[in-house]
Amino acid sequence: MSAPETTISEMPFSLEDSNDESVFLSKVAGRALRIAVLGLGHVGLPTALGFAEMGWEVLGADNDLAKVLRLTSGDPGFYEAGVEELLRKHLQTGLFKPVEDLGAAIRSASIVFICVGTPQHENGEADLSQVESVARTIAQNLNGYKLIVEKSTVPAVTAKWIQRTIHRYASGGNGKSSSGSHAVAFDVASNPEFLQEGSAVDNVFHPDRVVCGVESERASRILTAMYGPLQRPIITTDLNTAELTKHASNSFLAMKISFINMVADICEAIGADVTKVAQGIGMDPRIGSAFFQAGIGFGGYCLPKDLRAFIHLADSYGVDFSLLKEIEAINQRRVEVLIKKVRQALWVLRDKVIGVLGLAFKPGTDDIREAPSLRVIRALLDEGARLQLYDPKAMPNVQRILPAEEGRIRYCQTPYEAARAAQALLVLTEWNEFRDLDLHRIRELMEVPVIVDGRNVFAPEQVHRAGFEYLSVGR
Ligand code: UGA
C-alpha cells in the first residue's frame, strides 16, 4: 500500500498575512481559509464534511493510510446516516481532501481542529497520547498564525496542556513562548462536540448550542464568525469551563438513564409503568423528557468512557463526586437484570436457542463499542445458550470479534431467521424496523413464544395479543 499523492495546493492567501487579525477575520467571513481536521473518526469525519458543506476547503488528515485510501475512494468506513453522501459530494467538489500527511495539512491550513481519539486506560483515565502527539506535530509545522481547536472529548485542562506543548516544541525546545519575538503566534480553543452517532450530520448543522472555550479575543471572534451562519446560540467561556461542560453534559445524560432504569426496577417491583412515569416527569420543563428510555443501559464510545474520565478527574482533584460512581454501577447492573429475565422465562439456558435482535449500541449506527448487547451475548454464551443474531447494520463488526461458531453463534439475514426455532427472542437495540415486525409470523416460527424486550420496542398488549409471553423493562 502506498500513500496517495497528496498535492496540497498553495494557500488562497499568503500565510505571512495571517498574523494580521483583520485580514484573517475577513478571510474567515469569506471562508477563504483552509481548515485542517486531524483525525477522521466518528467526530472528525462528520465535522470535516460539515465544514466542507458550509463552503470551507477542508483537509482531513489521518495517519492511518488505509483509512485515507478508503475515504479517498468514497467509503467512510462506518455507517452514519448522510456521511457517505457528503463524502462523495465533497470529494467531487474538491472541498474535502483526505490526506495522510498531518504536517502538510497543518502547514497549509489556518484553522486546525484536533479530532483524534482519546481512548481510556484501565483505570478510566483518558489516554491523551494521540492529542499530545498532534500538539507536537502542530508545533513543528507552525508557519503563521493558526487557531488550534480541540474538539476531541478530553478531560479538563487538556487545552492548557496543548497550549503548553505547542509553546514548548514550536520554539525548538528553547522555551520561548509565542509572545517571544521569534515565535509564531497561535491560539488554542476548546470547542467540544455534542454530536450523537446516528444523527451526527444533522447535529453538525443544527447544534443545540456551540460552546467556545477561548483565551483571546481573536480566537473568540474567529469561532463566532465560523459558527455564526448556523444561527445557533454560542456560549463563550474559558478553556477549562468549555471542557468541563462536555464532561458534565455526558455525565448528566448518563445520570438520567441510570435514574430512569432504577425507577423501572421499582415499577416492576410494585406494578407500575415506567414509560408513563417518564412521560409524567418529563413534561416538567425543569426535567425534560429526553434520555428517559429505560432499557439495558447506556453504551457507545462516549457516555461510559466520559463518565469514567469524569470520575477519574474528580478523584484526582480530591473532589468526592460519588454520585458519578453510582451512575456507572447502576449501568453495569443492567445486563444482569436482563439476563435474570431470560432465566425467569426459560429457567436453564444451556442449549436453549435464543434469537437476538439488535447489536449496535443504539439504532442508526453500526458502532458496537461498549454495546450492552455484547455483554448480554457473552453472558448467554457463558451459560451455554445457542445464539441467532441479527442487526441491520452492525453484524460485520460483531462478526470480527465473535465469529460464527457451529452450534453456538449464527448470524442471520433477517429478524425472522433469528426467530426460527428459538425459545426466546431478545430485543437489545430499538431499530425502527423491529417495531414493524409481523409478530404472528414470528410466533409461528419460534419453538417457544417468549420475547424479552430490553428496549420496550413493543406495546405489551400487541405482543400478548400475538400469543407471546412478554417481559420488558419497568412495566
Ligand atoms: C453521546 C451524547 O449523547 C452526545 O451529546 C455526545 O456528543 C457524544 O456522546 C460524544 O461525547 O461524542 P452517543 O455516544 O452518540 O452520544 O450516544 P447517545 O445517543 O448518548 O446514547 C448513548 C447510550 O445511551 C446508547 O446505548 C443508548 O441506547 C442509551 N440510551 C439513550 C438509553 O438507554 N436511554 C435513553 O433514554 C437514551
The answer to the question of residue 343 being in a domain is yes
Give the number of the atom of ligand 1 that is nearest the alpha carbon of residue 196: 15
pLDDT at 178: 44
Same domain, 224 and 337: no
- The residue type found at 84 is E
**Is residue 80 within 8 Å of 365, Cβ to Cβ?**
yes
Q: How many domains does the chain have?
A: 2
Annotated catalytic residue within 115, 212, 267, 302:
302
| Residue whose entry in the numeric block shows the C-alpha cell 438513564 | 257
CA of 235 to the centre of ligand 1 (A): 22
pLDDT recorded at residue 174:
45
Task: Determine whether 212 is an active site residue.
Answer: no
Q: How many residues does the chain have?
A: 475
Decide which of 237, 252, 275 is a domain's last residue.
237
Do 365 and 228 belong together in one domain? no
Instruction: Judge if 208 and 76 occupy the same domain.
Output: yes
When pLDDT is averaged across residues 255-284 and rounded to a whole number, the result is 98
More confident residue, 408 or 126: 408
- Please give the average per-residue pLDDT across 108-132, as a whole number: 92
* CB 111 within 8 Å of CB 222: yes
| Closest approach atom of ligand 1 to CA 192 | 7
Backbone angles phi, psi at 149, to 5 degrees: -115, 120
Give the C-alpha separation, 351 to 272, whole Å.
Answer: 34
Q: Determine, yes or no, domain membership for 260.
A: no
Is 305 touching ligand 1 by the criterion CB < 6 Å?
no
What are the tens digits of pLDDT across the range 324-339?
A: 999 999 999 999 999 9
pLDDT of the residue at 24? 85
273-317 pLDDT, tens per residue? 999 999 999 999 999 999 999 999 999 999 999 999 999 999 999
Q: Are residues 342 and 219 in the same domain?
A: no
For ligand 1, whether the C-beta of 377 sits within 6 Å is no
- Mean pLDDT, the chain, whole residue set: 93
Q: What is the mean pLDDT of residues 139-152?
A: 95
Enclosing domain of residue 448: 327-471
- The C-alpha atoms of residue 139 and residue 102 are separated, in whole angstroms, by 12
Q: Is residue 39 part of a domain?
A: yes
Which residue, by CA, sits nearest to atom 7 of ligand 1? 194
Residue 270 lies in a domain: no
Residue that terminates a domain, selected from 199, 217, 237? 237
**What integer pLDDT is reported at residue 16 of this predicted model?**
56
**Nearest partner of 256 among 285, 287, 284, 277, judged by Cα:** 287
Q: Which amino acid is at 344?
A: Q
* CATH at residue 228: 3.40.50.720
Which of 237, 265, 300 is where one domain is finished?
Answer: 237
Residue 171 has pLDDT above 80, yes or no: no
At 243 the pLDDT is 96
* Confidence at 177, pLDDT banded by 50, 70, 90: very low
pLDDT computed for residue 181 by the predictor: 44
- The pLDDT of residue 25 is 86
Q: What is the pLDDT of residues 425-474, one digit of tens each?
A: 999 999 999 999 999 999 999 999 999 999 999 999 999 999 999 999 99
At 406-430, the pLDDT tens digits run: 989 999 999 999 999 999 999 999 9
Instruction: Say if residue 213's pLDDT is above 90.
Output: yes
Give the rounded percent of residues in the chain with a pLDDT score beyond 90.
85
Name the band, by pLDDT with cuts 50, 70 and 90, for residue 175: very low
Residue 252 lies in a domain: no
Q: What is the pLDDT of residues 378-388, one digit of tens each?
A: 999 999 999 99
251, 310 contact by CB (below 8 A):
yes
Tell me the per-residue pLDDT of 5-58, one tens digit each, with 9 for 90 and over. Answer: 556 665 555 555 667 888 888 888 888 899 999 999 999 999 999 999 999 999
One domain for residues 41 and 190 = yes
Q: Atom 17 in ligand 1: which residue has the minimum CA distance?
A: 196
**Cβ neighbours of residue 138 closer than 8 Å, sequence gap 6 or more:** 106, 112, 146, 148, 166, 186
| Selection from 175, 235, 178, 184 nearest residue 210 by Cα | 235
CB 298 within 8 A of CB 336: no
| Distance (Å) from CA 304 to ligand 1 centroid | 9
- Residues 329-376 pLDDT 10s: 999 999 999 999 999 999 999 999 999 999 999 999 999 999 999 999
Give the nearest ligand 1 atom to 250 CA. 2
Q: Is 257 in the pocket of ligand 1 (CB under 6 A)?
A: yes
